[in-house]
Amino acid sequence: MSDILARLGDQIDSRRQSNATESYTASLFARGEDAILQKVGEEAVEFILAAKGDDSADLVAEAADVWFHMLVLMSAKGLGPADILNELQRREGVSGHAEKAARVSD
């Protein structure tokens, strides 16, 4: 399932060299990091609003928009989906409560 994320991450990275008029991703890179951050924020709000409704397809579409724009931001920072997946894998099996308790006692 993570193959699509890897392919999308590679495609996003490759769009750094693309023409902004032909590629939406390239147009985001051209607008700069603050514009990408703004899009992540807008998409997150749209995701929350969709979650308050009852349209599952709309919620899934908005979630995909959040993931895509997050990956564009990560690419701008030299990071990609593998970094997120590795972090989730590192956390796998560790209770969130236990992890937080260990953090607080540090």
Ligand X SMILES: N=c1c2ncn([C@@H]3O[C@H](COP(=O)(O)OP(=O)(O)OP(=O)(O)O)[C@@H](O)[C@H]3O)c2ncn1[C@@H]1O[C@H](COP(=O)(O)O)[C@@H](O)[C@H]1O
Residue ranges in contact with ligand X by CB under 6 A? 8, 11, 15, 23-26, 39, 65, 68
Helix axes 56-76, 33-52, angle to 10 degrees: 160
65 versus 80: smaller Cβ distance to ligand X = 65
Q: What is the 3-state secondary structure (H, E, C) of 30-95?
A: HHCHHHHHHHHHHHHHHHHHHHHCCCHHHHHHHHHHHHHHHHHHHHHCCCCHHHHHHHHHHHCCCC
Rounded least distance, CB 45 to ligand X, Å = 10
Rounded least distance, CB 8 to ligand X, Å = 6
49 versus 101: smaller Cβ distance to ligand X = 49
35 versus 91: smaller Cβ distance to ligand X = 35
Rounded least distance, CB 24 to ligand X, Å = 3
